[in-house]
Amino acid sequence: MSLKRSSSSFFIFLFSFFFLSSHVSLQACQKTCGQIPIKYPLGTGSGCGDPRFTRYITCDPDQQTLTLTTHTGSYPITSVDYAKQEIYVTDPSMSTCACTRPSHGFGLDWDAPFSFHDDTVFTLLDCSVDESPVFTPLSNGSGRVSLCDRQSSSICTFLYSNCRAISLINLQVSTCCVYVPLDLGPSFEMDLNKLKCSSYSGFYNLGPGQESHPENWNYGIALKYKFNVFDEYPGVCGSCERSNGACGFNTQSSSFVCNCPGGINTTSDCFFLYNSASILVPWFSREWVMYPLSWFVVWMVMVLR
Ligand SMILES: *[C@@H]1O[C@H](CO)[C@@H](O)[C@H](O)[C@H]1NC(C)=O
Ligand SMILES: *[C@@H]1O[C@H](CO)[C@@H](O)[C@H](O)[C@H]1NC(C)=O
């Protein structure tokens, strides 16, 4: 009788240990958000990733969507290239070859840890030829100096003539302006109300020979980020991620935290945890021991009944 009871409680203990040590959802910092893998410096919530990114990039826990938020709105993140340190976002108010939409523009916060990638090309559409400052920026009598990239004006021609959605509304090509981020200056802002344009289109990584095929362009905005002034990946975070942890930080002190599977935090990596667990219960930390052992306990409980 007492043997039966103690074996059942041993089984429960073993089951909970196994459950706790393998159940990943207990890890406060997720390693994916929907289809997108999450690695440093991005994080899925407070205390995850790099503190400078937490305010701008969030993962909706129910929808599992990764979103960039700036003072101009919220934008779905479509992918992240961690090797190139690039983030790709879409703007639901942006026009593409398939449809035109009115927009207020797009802006980054001046203190955000990322900037426009050089590959991003903005095309301002339906701008007022007489009033838009992109066509007449200087009013000191020296004549009209356009802020648009004239050498790339073929982009306007292709967009206006090869895209049905745009050609249907019958705009003049002269209302189009190719605006590269360099021209955006330090304001990080493309305010279409100020620029007197009614919509815009953005795309990145225009491949060779693709210029005349606006239906194939990658519509969206490419952003780049840096880890720090020297742009070095923090070594402690590398070993945390290699040990199956997620890099995070203490919300009070901002100091580094490695969030390990099972929800335990360390200041280094999760190998440390596995090592100390195997010192306490040497054979518990090995899965090939855990599985047969659990079945053996189940079998024992059945036999004793
Ligand atoms: C571990 O760190 C994460 C991220 O900083 C935090 O959300 C969580 O509360 C911490 N857990 C413990 C047990 O301290
Ligand atoms: C107008 O402004 C531009 C740029 O600031 C300057 O180069 C130019 O000399 C100015 N012209 C006159 C007439 O002030």
Tens of pLDDT, residue by residue, the chain (305 residues): 454 555 555 555 444 444 455 444 578 999 999 999 999 999 998 999 999 999 999 999 888 999 999 999 999 999 999 999 999 999 999 999 999 999 999 999 988 898 888 888 999 999 998 888 888 755 565 556 677 888 888 999 999 999 988 888 888 899 999 987 665 655 578 899 999 999 999 999 888 888 899 999 999 999 999 998 888 999 999 999 999 999 999 999 989 999 999 889 999 999 877 776 655 554 544 555 555 555 665 576 566 66
Distance, in Å, from the CA atom of 95 to the CA atom of 302, rounded to the nearest integer, reads 66
For residue 265, the CA-to-ligand 1 centroid distance in Å is 6
Ligand 2 centroid, distance to 116 Cα (angstroms):
29
Residue 139 Cα to ligand 2 midpoint, Å, equals 9
- Cα 46 → chain centroid: 15
**Strand ranges inside 174-293, DSSP E:** 177-179, 189-191, 197-204, 218-219, 221-225, 246-249, 256-259, 265-266
Residue 196 backbone class (left: φ over 0; alpha: ψ -120 to 50; beta: rest): left
Strand order through the sheet with 246-249:
246-249, 256-259, 265-266
For the CA of 140, the closest atom of ligand 2 is 1
The domain spans of the chain are: 2-28+234-304, 86-225
The alpha carbon of 28 and the centre of ligand 1 are apart by a number of angstroms equal to 6
CA 176, CA 152: separation in Å to the nearest integer?
Answer: 11
Which atom of ligand 1 lies at the shortest distance from residue 264's CA? 13
Of the residues 138, 139, 144, 145, which should be mutated to test ligand 2's pocket, given the most ligand atoms within 8 Å of the CB?
A: 138
Nearest CA to ligand 2 atom 6: 142
Sheet order of strands, 221-225 included = 57-59, 66-70, 73-81, 86-89, 221-225, 114-116
